[in-house]
Amino acid sequence: MSSVNVSACEKFSINISSIAPDKSISHRSVMFSMLASGTSEITNFLRAEDTLNSLEIVKNLGANVTDDGETIKISSNGIQEPFEILDCGNSGTGMRLFCGLLSSANGHFVLTGDKYLRSRPMKRVTQPLRDIGAIIDGREDSNLAPLSIRGAALKAFDYTSKIASAQVKSCMILAALRADGKCTYTEPELSRDHTERMLKGMGASVEVDGLRTTVGPMKELLKPLKIRVPSDPSSAFFFAVAAAITPNASVVLEGITLNETRIEAFKALERMGADISYELRSDKYEPIGDITVKQAPLKAITVENNISWLIDELPALSIAFACAEGVSVVKNAEELRVKESDRISTVVDGLNACGIETTEYEDGYTVKGGTLKSASVDSDGDHRIAMSFIIAGLRCGMEVTDLECINTSFPNFFELLQKITTIKIS
Ligand code: S3P
């Protein structure tokens, strides 16, 4: 599967109940099961490369895992020193959270990943962990994987991060659970909060007060998780944009987490003029419900606050910018440069190839709405870039190359896309 040709699409009106399960919650569900006494039960786990790598790692760390294809059951007698190198594949979340989990565990652990992950910055977690006593090393003084961890006793901390990153926050919360006293972690803006919600639900002492999270050390093992993973708003958002840019289209996206730290991109699309409504259906660990998106004329917006709340959706949102009237502006988004690709340049280059005017800045870009033209765009190995430009193809037809990466987060993407347009994969 190296390239796809997508045809432009007529109006559509569909309900989608099988958007891929949430990636962030799936990673956490298998990792956190290692901290529980008894058996955790996870249904609707995301069976995509990134999260299956985390599941494999948990097995290598000695967890007892059974999987009947429906429910994954995990029980653990504590983290065991693994025989294998732990391969996180493409996943920054996997690598950074495992750093926090393993820094205090007995034994020696080596974390690696694919060529993209081995180029992404890890100092943001290895330095604060080293500062509290963790023994971690890696290339460029522990900034680049492979990382080697020798579990050690960790000191209590009061850490203020310069980056609004749920990966860094979660790493430090996991380390705090095994530190020798109460710890506090402060972030500059609230990042996604699944770790806090899930660990609290498991009985951990995790208190959130605005931007400050206080974690008490684990006195005993936690309660096992019983969780059905909701669908992923970041994956759902591709179909939200599809509906927003296709004349007379509408889509109902079912069973999505409505956690406010995750649906900011839908709010941005709403600000652009799309007709969007939310219906809450249940609330355990996370609020879960349906999101309906209907096409309406789009106008340009500026996006500069709470960037971490829509960091994964900015590539797809940029396709909506290209279809809007006026110049949209993205600011304060330097974190985009260290995602699965440098998403400022991959978005800007891709849009330029499609005949859209852009300006690139160190921390963002502008997009002047216009007429998208059919082009050939390479994903640069980044799943969200691949899927964003495939969605752009619904307007004008498109070839997108280097598609394997889509399997990291949304294996049934093409199956769903085929419900609204014709595609040719080769
Ligand atoms: C994630 C956090 C985000 C996001 C990533 C998943 C998580 O990264 O981009 O896809 O599950 O914690 P940062 O927290 O580093 O911004």
Query: Could you give all domains of the chain from N- to C-terminal order, each with its CATH number?
Result: 3-21+232-425 (3.65.10.10), 23-228 (3.65.10.10)
Question: Which residue in the list 50, 232, 290, 312 is annotated as catalytic?
Answer: 312
Q: What is the pTM of this model?
A: 0.98
Pair of tokens at residue 136:
């971690």
Minimum CA distance residue for ligand 1 atom 4: 312
- What local confidence, expressed as pLDDT, does residue 401 receive? 98
Across 168-225, the runs of DSSP E, i.e. the strands, are: 183-186, 206-209, 212-215
Minimum CA distance residue for ligand 1 atom 11: 24
Which residues does a 6 A CB cutoff place in the pocket of ligand 1? Answer: 24, 93, 165-167, 170, 191-192, 308, 311-312, 335
Residue 65, beta-bridge partner list: 74
**Is residue 312 flagged as an active site residue?**
yes
- What local confidence, expressed as pLDDT, does residue 266 receive? 98
The Å distance, Cα 194 to ligand 1 centre, comes to 11
Give the residue ranges of the chain where pLDDT is below 50: none
Angle at 384 (CA atoms; ends 144, 338), nearest 5 degrees: 30
With contact defined as beta carbons under 8 Å apart, do 401 and 379 qualify? yes
- What local confidence, expressed as pLDDT, does residue 1 receive? 64
Angle at 356 (CA atoms; ends 352, 359), nearest 5 degrees: 70
Burial class of 283 by CB neighbour count within 10 A (0 to 12, 13 to 18, 19+): exposed
Residue 40, beta-bridge partner list: 74
Minimum CA distance residue for ligand 1 atom 9: 312
- What local confidence, expressed as pLDDT, does residue 119 receive? 98
